[in-house]
Amino acid sequence: MGSTNNIPHPAPEAEEVYRRWLQFLDDEFIRHGSPERRCEIVRDQLHQLYLGRPHATKSAVSLTSELPGTILALSLDPANVTLEAEYFADTDRERYSRRKPLLWFWKMFDRSPIGLNHWLGLRFRCMLARHIFDHLGSGVKIYHGVELTFGYNLSIGDGVTIRQGALLNDRGGLKVGNGAVIGSFSRVFSHSHDPEEFEKVTLVPTVIGPRARIASHAIVLAGHHVAEGEAVGTFPASGL
């Protein structure tokens, strides 16, 4: 039998710091639900992660040569960026505005050097997901580079695994049942476009049943109900 001692861990001192940071962020997002305050929290954290220094109150824009650095600093604040979902007519503005800073944090964490810290990343994404998703079960693993749309129409059951680079498009509602696996770079949609009029969008809930498996690079179209235990896509033959 395998020993839990064989599970990779950071050094004890690092693990303690990581856990303190995650708890601090979780407490802050529980305490502060306003978009404005959440933007400030995320801005301050990203300044530290990307620039290695606290957020400065003034930007240096006197010289053209300073503009790229100023643009970087300004773009670390979610209030200064726009995301694709903000352009959709079906976006619930109130619900999305509370989540937008956290969605930006999600994206920018994964694009930072520490986003590749596997142990920390798995826990960071689940911490944020509890504040973004409609529901997040226990024992969920969300890997690097997973893309979200709204977040508030997304329900994830217990023991779900979402592999690297998957897209969870929850515009029309997306539910993933207990123990399901979403493969790397797969695409799961809950909306479709009219072939004759692309701007005409139809929203249809999509369900991934318990213990279903979505293969790497597979596509699940809007309105599909993947049955319990069903496999979608191509998997390597057993024994190979």
**pLDDT at 67 (0 to 100):** 85
Q: Which of 172, 169, 159, 166 is nearest to 212 (CA)?
A: 159
> Residue 63: which pLDDT band, with cuts at 50, 70 and 90?
low
Strands 191-193 and 201-203, how do they pair? antiparallel
Segment among 37-46, 58-67, 104-113, 122-131 with least mean pLDDT: 58-67
> Which residues does 153 contact at the CB level (< 8 Å), separation at least 6?
134, 170, 171, 172, 173, 174, 190
167 bridge partner residues: 147, 187
> Which residues does 2 contact at the CB level (< 8 Å), separation at least 6?
none
**pLDDT at 6 (0 to 100):** 79
Of 235 and 130, more confident: 130
3-state secondary structure 45-88: HHHHHHHCCCCCCCCCCCCHHHHHHHHHHHHCCHHHCCCHHHHC
Radius of gyration for the alpha carbons in the chain, expressed in angstroms and rounded:
19
CA distance 146 to 187: 10
Straight-line distance from the first to the last Cα atom of the chain, in angstroms, rounded to the nearest whole number = 24
Whether residue 176 has pLDDT greater than 50: yes
> Residue 93: which pLDDT band, with cuts at 50, 70 and 90?
very high
Which amino acid appears at position 163 of this protein? R
Segment among 18-27, 61-70, 105-114, 180-189 with least mean pLDDT: 61-70
Asked if residue 170 lies in contact with residue 191, where contact means CB atoms within 8 angstroms, the answer is: no
Which amino acid appears at position 177 of this protein? G
Quick one: average pLDDT of 91-107? Answer: 97
For residue 13 the two structure tokens come to 């001192």
Whether residue 239 has pLDDT greater than 60: no
> Residue 57: which pLDDT band, with cuts at 50, 70 and 90?
low
CA distance 133 to 85: 15
Q: Within the chain, what is the greatest distance between any pair of CA atoms? A: 64
Asked if residue 127 lies in contact with residue 22, where contact means CB atoms within 8 angstroms, the answer is: yes
CATH architecture of 133-235: 3 Solenoid (2.160)
**pLDDT at 181 (0 to 100):** 98
Q: Percent of the chain, pLDDT > 70?
A: 93
- Report pLDDT digits (tens) over 2-36: 445 678 999 999 999 999 999 999 999 999 999 99
> Residue 240: which pLDDT band, with cuts at 50, 70 and 90?
very low
Whether residue 171 has pLDDT greater than 60: yes
Whether residue 191 has pLDDT greater than 90: yes
**pLDDT at 204 (0 to 100):** 95
**pLDDT at 236 (0 to 100):** 75
Query: What are the extents of the domains in the chain?
Result: 17-127, 133-235
3-state secondary structure of 82: coil
- Report pLDDT digits (tens) over 218-231: 999 999 999 999 99
**Secondary element (H or E) of residue 207:** strand 206-208
Whether residue 145 has pLDDT greater than 90: yes
Mean pLDDT of the chain: 92
Quick one: average pLDDT of 197-222? Answer: 93
